[in-house]
A and B are shown apart, each in its own frame.
Chain A
Amino acid sequence: MTVTQEHIRSGLEKLPRFKLSHLNTPLEPLDRLRQALIDEGVAVPNRLLVKRDDASGLAFGGNKGRHFEFEIAHILEGGFDTVININHFHSNQARFIAAGCAKAGLKYHIVSIDLVTAPITGNLLLCKLMGAEIHRTPSEYGRQVAEKIFTSETAAGRKPYILPDDPFVDVMGTIGFLETGLELEEQLNELHVDGPVRFWGLTGRSIAGLRLYAKNRGLDWRATACQYSPGKVEDFKKDTAERTAQVAEMFDLEQSLDLDDLTVLEDYRGPAYGEPDDRVIEAILMVGKTEGLILDPNYTGKSMSGLIGEFRSGRIDPDETICFIHSGGLPQLFAHADKFLD
């Protein structure tokens, strides 16, 4: 049984929401990248597209500008006035929460973990500009620091919210991309795309949301998720199945995702989170040169290196339309300037 677009739209409209992003984001062709691959002798499908979620407009843009519309509204509904987040110093998510808190007038603490001596630039700089109080600490102390802030804010009469403790965070990213599904179904129709479509992105909640949308709409949308950090593929698949089951219940959908609904690629994750390998740098330069389109080294550069790599290996079905999800992450490119010296 498939559901209507209206069913999903009305489910979304029931959720409280705080406007942060400029939607819809464009869906554009990558004709010149496609041609460059053809020039290499690589077999490519008829259509190669990019969903420009980097152009969502909130503080350098990105897919999370969607998700946090629900998250910020959820925080405001809970009556909280202070948000405490724990995330890596590279984190795009930390920046989006900073932007959402600024717009909503919430106080924001970011416990910025890992390399405490890394220069303040990229996302962390933007957090700072947007008024985040930054607490830098090695990863193993992140939790303790957050709890200490929680205690002192509570003592000061405020009502703090520790973001990673709320299970809503895990489902909201998937919910944001149910809406992207609505957007994309219309945009693909406008471009008269028929036949199977493969979405190409990263192991996260977004691509799961798209796949969940398609499965319940009965669309032949396939999905490949590239890993960007170490971690067991099975854990990702298991988490995804659990989260999508929750979302399916919230939205009264019959189907959630099974372990084999997403193809996961491990081969392009590079040495570590936040560390691109040579293929990522090559992919960023190739897309910059052919399309004037910028990717970031931590996320979209990795998924694009995966796409180019799979094309070159002949492992992509030429009957599929490929839709690359540009999920943003653009500030962090500036933290990797040293990778682009000659």
Chain B
Amino acid sequence: MTQHLTPNELQTHIDKLPRMKMAHLPTPLEEMPRLTERLGGPNIWIKREDMTGLAYGGNKARHYEFEMPHVSEQGYDVMINVMDYHSNNARMTAAAANKIGMRYILVLKNAANRIVQGNLLIDKILGAELHLLDEYQSGDADGYATRLKEQLEAEGHKPYLIQEHVFPRIVGMVGFVQAGIEILEQINENDLKNIHFIGVAGRSLCGLIIAAKAMGLDWKFTGVTVNYDVPLGDYIFKHNKDIQELLDLPVTFEQSDMRVLDQYVGEGYGVMTAEVNEAIHIAAQTDAIICDPNYTGTAMAALIDQIKEGGFDDDETIIFLHTGGLPAVFTFAEQLANFKGTV
């Protein structure tokens, strides 16, 4: 039988990694009393990762506390990131890079001729060097980034192309192993029982799963997919051993540790469904919580539907993981403003 770690012991595994302050931590864990009342099911709490304070906030501020020292201590002087034009990751990397004075080049797929709004606007304000690819170029975005990297190397730079490294793929989980320790303390302070997390199926939830398993906690996890194009197995689950090794832990996560809901994607990533539009209005009108159309809005739609459908037990305490993504609200301003339903 696996020996469980105390929170302090788990912390020592994280503390081996270099770290730099980027986020306002701990983020609050607060109740959503009016949403709970409206849905008439289990008590709903929310973990406010939208309040990390780094350029509109979001869960990724935690990651960069580890990623930025990791990159800079190896002598890299410019980071290159390949992302979609919507990307929250792209924005938060820009902010984190600025905090340490790291040059940052952003290769954005499907971004040419887009209206400059939401995350793309913030990328610009943060002074990221932008390469906005059209649809044709986007097919070979990685090749484009590699050529950029080679060109910078020829100029005598030491570029870090994020997509070529494993660390950026697992660092998000490290940030959430840390968050797991934080949340445990908050759960204990509030005397919450039968914990069930729901959020976007991704690295953050996987980090929490590791924290729970390492500390021997019976937390449950529901992950909501927002994308057809990114298979979770390849994207996340195959890195379970990498994170275990990095943190030298007795346990890691398995795909079976998370209930995955994939029926809320709609037409695909970046297309807001009517249910998501409604869910955004419901969360805003009950507890003044703002969700975004790409990620947290989809997770909120799933939460609301699952409570109606009996997908959670009434004696559970639901913790909704608000991972941020707020700038995207304004990319969808017209569609949100035209929502005609009453909630």
A residues with a Cβ closer than 8 A to B are 20, 22, 26, 32, 52, 54-55, 57-61, 98-100, 102-103, 105, 119-122, 125-126, 128-131, 284-285, 288-294, 330-331, 333-334, 337, 340-341
Contact = CB atoms under 8 A, between A and B. Distances in A.
Contact of A26 (B48, B53, B96, B115): B53
A227 to B, nearest CB: 24
Contacts of B62: none
List 5 A-B pairs, minimum CB-CB distance, nearest first: A292-B95, A334-B330, A99-B288, A120-B337, A131-B285
Contacts of A128: 336-337
Contact of A294 (B24, B56, B97): B56
Contacts of A120: 333-334, 337
Which of B34, B98, B99, B327 has its CB near the most chain A CB atoms (within 10 A)?
Answer: B98
A130 B280 CA distance: 9
B287 interface: yes
A334 B117 contact: yes
Given A102-B285, A129-B290, A337-B121, A292 B34 contact: no
Contacts of B53: 26, 52, 54-55
B98 A290 contact: yes
B51 interface: yes
A22 B51 CA distance: 9
B99 to A, nearest CB: 5
Given A119-B334, A292-B96, A340-B116, A103 B121 contact: no
Given A337-B121, A340-B116, A340-B121, A292 B126 contact: yes
Interface of B: 24, 28, 34, 48, 51, 53-57, 94-99, 101, 115-118, 121-122, 124-127, 280-281, 284-290, 326-327, 329-330, 333-334, 336-337, 343
A98 B122 CA distance: 25
Contacts of A52: 24, 53
Given A22-B28, A59-B288, A340-B116, A288 B337 contact: no
B51 A57 contact: yes
B24 A55 contact: yes
Contacts of B54: 292
Contact of B284 (A129, A284, A331, A340): A129
Contacts of B343: 131
A288 B336 contact: no
A245 B124 CA distance: 45
A130 B288 contact: yes
Given A102-B287, A340-B116, A55 B51 contact: yes
B98 A105 contact: no
A225 B98 CA distance: 28
21 contacts: A22-B51, A26-B24, A55-B24, A59-B284, A60-B326, A99-B288, A102-B34, A102-B284, A105-B34, A119-B334, A122-B330, A125-B330, A126-B329, A288-B126, A289-B127, A292-B95, A330-B56, A331-B330, A334-B327, A337-B116, A340-B124
